[in-house]
A and B are shown apart, each in its own frame.
Chain A
Amino acid sequence: QSVLTQPPSTSGTPGQRVTLSCSGRSSNLGSNPVHWYQQLPGTAPKLLIYSNYQRHSGVPDRFSGSRSGTSASLVISGLQSEDEGDYYCAAWDDSLSGLVFGGGTKLTVL
């Protein structure tokens, strides 16, 4: 059971806009920024979005993030086939004194 909650799967068609959600509690998302990671099949994770909405270097502006209260969202606009993979949210948890991840959302591009 992951500390941060993400839906296990979602899908979209090329060109579509999809929203991935992440929910937590006051000790993590409620008081610390959220970060998003992309893991394409067979590869190591990569940082996508940090500090709620900042894009990591090289990340296209099709990816955007936001955080409100104890929830966060990652929006992918203009979905492309190469976006298919797993997406994880993460945040520091003050109660656990550690970085906590969501269980991940598997994005399928139909």
Chain B
Amino acid sequence: EVQLVESGGGLVKPGGSLRLSCAVSGFTFSSYSMNWVRQAPGQGLEWVACISSGGDYIYYADSLKGRFTISRDNAENSLYLEMNSLRVEDTAVYYCARDLTVKPCDYWGQGTLVTVSS
């Protein structure tokens, strides 16, 4: 069974940093690209970033470039999102999702809530 479990969310002050993790099981992690997608309270889905299976290709949403860094550790079956200079508007549930070229975000985790507030 494909499973993705996010962790690392919480309350952080504006300007602060946070590192999210996504632990996966039930599939060969090193064979799949991975995404982060976020959803602000009461709002729609917003794609954040994706990373190729080997980590050599990385894409970010334009609005987040420079502040967020996606990475992965294939030996640990884990995906990460390093978030710096956090703003109130970064408050959202952050989901990790598996990716296939023809079938993006085919499996999702349950999400982890990040709240940026003073």
Complex alpha-carbon distance, A85 and B110, angstroms: 17
Give per-residue flags for A38-77: 1 if the beta carbon is below 8 A from chain B beta carbons, else 0.
0100001111001100101000000000000000000000
Q: State whether A104 touches B104 (Cβ < 8 A).
A: no
CB contact list, B41-69 vs A, under 8 A: 44-47, 50, 59-62
Which residues on B sit within 8 Å (CB–CB) of A101? 44-47
Q: How many residues of B contact A (CB 8 A)?
A: 22
Q: Which residues of B are found within 8 Å of A97, using beta-carbon distances? A: 59
Contact residue among B59, B62, B106 (Cβ-Cβ distance under 8 Å from A47)? B106
CB distance from B89 to the nearest CB of A (A): 14
B104 touches A44 (CB 8 A): no
Is B91 an interface residue when CB atoms closer than 8 A count as contact?
Answer: no
Given contacts A99-B35, A99-B47, contact A45 B61 (CB under 8 A): no
Pick the contact of B105: A2, A35, A96, A100 (CB < 8 A): A35
B105 touches A102 (CB 8 A): no
Whether A90 touches B44, Cβ cut-off 8 Å, given contacts A44-B111, A98-B61, A99-B50, is no
Pair A44/B95 contact, Cβ less than 8 Å: yes
Across the A-B interface, how many residue pairs have beta carbons closer than 8 Å? 63
In the docked arrangement, what's the CA distance between A98 and B33, Å? 13
Q: Which residues of A contact B95 (CB under 8 A)?
A: 44-45
Shortest beta-carbon distance, B59 to chain A, in Å?
5
Contact in complex: B44, A56 (CB < 8 Å) = no
Query: How near does chain A come to B116, taking the closest CB pair, in angstroms?
Result: 21
Contact of A50 among B47, B60, B106, B111 (CB under 8 A): B106
Q: Does B32 contact A (CB under 8 A)?
A: no
Q: Is the CB of A50 within 8 A of B59?
A: no
Q: Which A positions have Cβ atoms within 8 angstroms of B?
A: 2, 33, 35, 37, 39, 44-47, 50-51, 54, 56, 86, 88, 90, 92, 96-104
Q: Which residues of B contact A (CB under 8 A)?
A: 35, 37, 44-47, 50, 59-62, 95, 102-111
A/B interface sample: 10 pairs, CB < 8 A? A44-B111, A45-B45, A45-B108, A50-B106, A90-B47, A96-B61, A97-B59, A98-B61, A99-B104, A100-B47
